[in-house]
Amino acid sequence: MKKLSILSLILFATLRSMACDVCGCKLGGLYFGILPQYNTHFIGVRYGHASFKASMLHNSEYLDDEFSHDTYQRIDVMGRYSLSKKFQINFLLPYMHNRMDGSHQKVTSTGIGDPMVLVYYNPFNTGEVLLKNWKHALLIGGGLKLPLGDDKKVDNGKIINRNFQLGSGSLDFLLSANYTLRYNNWGINLESAYKINTANELNYRFGNQMNTSGYLFYYWQTDQVSFLPYTGLYFETAGKHLDGKVRQNNTGGSALFGTMGLQIFRNNFTLNFQYQHPATQNYNSDHIATIEAEERFTVGFLFNFSLKEDTMILIDN
């Protein structure tokens, strides 16, 4: 569970004989990171890739050991429309490709996922100076995740692991905050998001999810191109799922990722490259199951338009 993915962390087990009883975490999408020119509109696309390994060692002559290698890919169409200097609307529409390659089941799920819409309020003018050479910006907001993606995909007549569904089937509530502080060319970016999940029509509810990141960056400008390398930490966590009132085993957990990335700016265009490596992880697996997150990476492209005179904290010198 991710970005905006909200990123986000989800674990679920389908307790049946023809499926591995543990699977990994969805690649969440509720995060925006270090964004240039807070008062402009933008449209962009972002590709994200995450994978997980899961296994069950039964230590029994009657049951075969099970494994699954789960891959989550998503393409996010994302955008922002600035209503004013204080308010903006952000949206994100994912296209998902989830694949489970397991010892007992192989499943692929592809299609449109659940879109997100958030309204942000900017209490600080991103161009204002705190002290000499200091600038900062804060965005706080909330919104909805809409139940558009398919949440009832079946395999051999049975509903597949809910983690591989394209959507959750539920209307969920989003809270988000993004703060940037800059001194000359150095700066920090802090972002946090929380998703409150509701039950779908099958009375299944994913655990609430949270992700938090903190990055140190350096802004370097040339005559034609500007660069912004950054590094830091990304943390995500989720509660256990509920099927009716029953808490589901092997769901929920947390993970901490070391992150490094690079943004490249030229005129109105922004390229973003990001790599994440799991530092620590603690999934709620039982004594015979293990779940391991692997590396993640994202590549994004943004086009900013309707530029205004008071350009932003990361661009303006």
How many CB atoms sit inside 10 A of residue 1's CB?
29
Predicted local confidence at residue 287, as pLDDT: 73
Q: In this predicted structure, what is the pLDDT of residue 13?
A: 28
pLDDT, tens only, 39-57: 789 999 999 999 998 887 8
pLDDT of 243-252, one tens digit each? 999 998 778 8
pLDDT in tens, 60-98: 777 778 888 999 999 999 999 999 888 999 999 999 999
Give the tokens for residue 74. Answer: 């998503």
Residue 260: CATH number of its domain: 2.40.160.40
Residue 48 resides in a domain: yes
Higher local confidence (pLDDT), 291 or 1: 291
What's the domain range around 124?
A: 41-305
Q: What is the largest CA-CA distance in the chain?
A: 72
What pLDDT does 232 receive?
97
Q: Is 89 domain-assigned?
A: yes
pLDDT digits over 172-213, tens only?
A: 999 999 999 988 899 999 999 999 999 999 999 999 999 999
Judged against a pLDDT cut of 60, whether residue 254 lies above it is answered with yes
What pLDDT, on a 0 to 100 scale, did the predictor assign at position 222? 92
pLDDT at 157: 82
103 within domain boundaries: yes
Q: How far is CA 191 from CA 166, 264, 287, in A?
A: 25, 20, 34
Contact assessment for residue 29 and residue 2, using Cβ atoms and an 8 Å cutoff: yes
Q: In the structure encoding, which two tokens stand for residue 109, read together? A: 């799920």
pLDDT of residue 61: 73
Region 10-39 average pLDDT: 48
Average model confidence (pLDDT) for the chain?
83
Structure tokens at 283: 């999934």
Residue 26: pLDDT band by 50, 70, 90 thresholds?
low
Residue 8 lies in a domain: no
pLDDT at 164: 84
Total domains in the chain come to 1
* pLDDT value at residue 29: 58
Share of the chain above pLDDT 90, in %: 53
Q: Residue 255: pLDDT above 60?
A: yes
Contact 178, 122 (CB under 8 A): no
Strand intervals (E) in the chain: 41-56, 66-82, 87-102, 106-112, 116-121, 134-145, 154-155, 158-159, 172-183, 186-196, 204-205, 209-218, 220-221, 226-238, 242-243, 246-247, 253-266, 269-283, 289-293, 296-305
| 317 within some domain | no
Amino acid in position 129:
V
Give the position of tokens 């996922």. 113
Radius of gyration of the chain (CA): 20
Residues 228/263, Cβ–Cβ less than 8 Å: yes
Write down the pLDDT at residue 237: 92
> Is residue 199 in a domain?
yes
Instruction: Please give the pLDDT value at position 284.
Output: 82
Residue 311 domain-assigned (yes or no): no
Within a domain: residue 20? Answer: no
CA distance 47 to 43: 14
